[in-house]
Every structure is written in structure tokens, then in C-alpha cells.
Amino acid sequence: MSGEAILHDYWRSSAAYRVRIVLNLKGVAYRSVQVDLRAGDQATGAFHALNPQGLIPALEIDGHVAVVFRTPSVSKRSRLVKPTVTCG
């Protein structure tokens, strides 16, 4: 991974919390962008361009690929980023 990882995130989201745990366990640096679910930020056109499901978390890697995870698959996917660090 050469570029930045951006986690579209919300502090009250249990799904996003699971992703933060995995990224931190693996030592993957990321920038958190808050999507305020209570304000409806997930329903905006800008967010739907990233994830048409209108759900967080969503993880962008290297700026050009928007990857939307089901949180249980984050650990599997993150092996591509940190193959030598495993946590499930």
C-alpha cells in the first residue's frame, strides 16, 4: 500500500468500531472521516458515490479504489495490506 487509507467512519457505529480494531491491531495507518449518521450524511449523493448502500464503514485505499466491507471480511481483506500480521 503506497497511498493513504481513509476509513469512512462514525464514532457510535459498532460496525465501524470492528474495522478500527482490526486496522489498529494490524498497524494499518488510516485517516478517519466522520460520516454523521444522525445528521443523515450517509444519505447524501456524495456518500452514495462511495457506497451506494449508504452504509458505513467504507474503506478507501490508495485514493482510487473505494472498497466497501462487510465488517467480518475486513480482517481477510486487510491481509493484502499487512500480510505478515494476522488476527483472524
CA distances from 59 to 39, 66 (A): 20, 6
Dist. CA 72–CA 14, nearest whole Å: 12
Instruction: Candidates 7-15, 21-29, 59-67, 80-88: pick the segment binding ligand GSH (CB under 6 A).
Output: 7-15
Instruction: Candidates 22-30, 49-57, 59-67, 79-87: pick the segment binding ligand GSH (CB under 6 A).
Output: 49-57
Say how many residues touch ligand GSH, by CB under 6 A.
Answer: 12
Q: Taking CB under 6 A as the rule, does residue 78 contact ligand GSH?
A: no
Q: Taking CB under 6 A as the rule, does residue 55 contact ligand GSH?
A: yes
Q: What is the number of other CB atoms lying within 10 angstroms of the CB of residue 51?
A: 18
77 in Cβ contact with 26 (< 8 Å)? no
Q: Which is nearer to ligand GSH, 54 or 82 (CB)?
A: 54
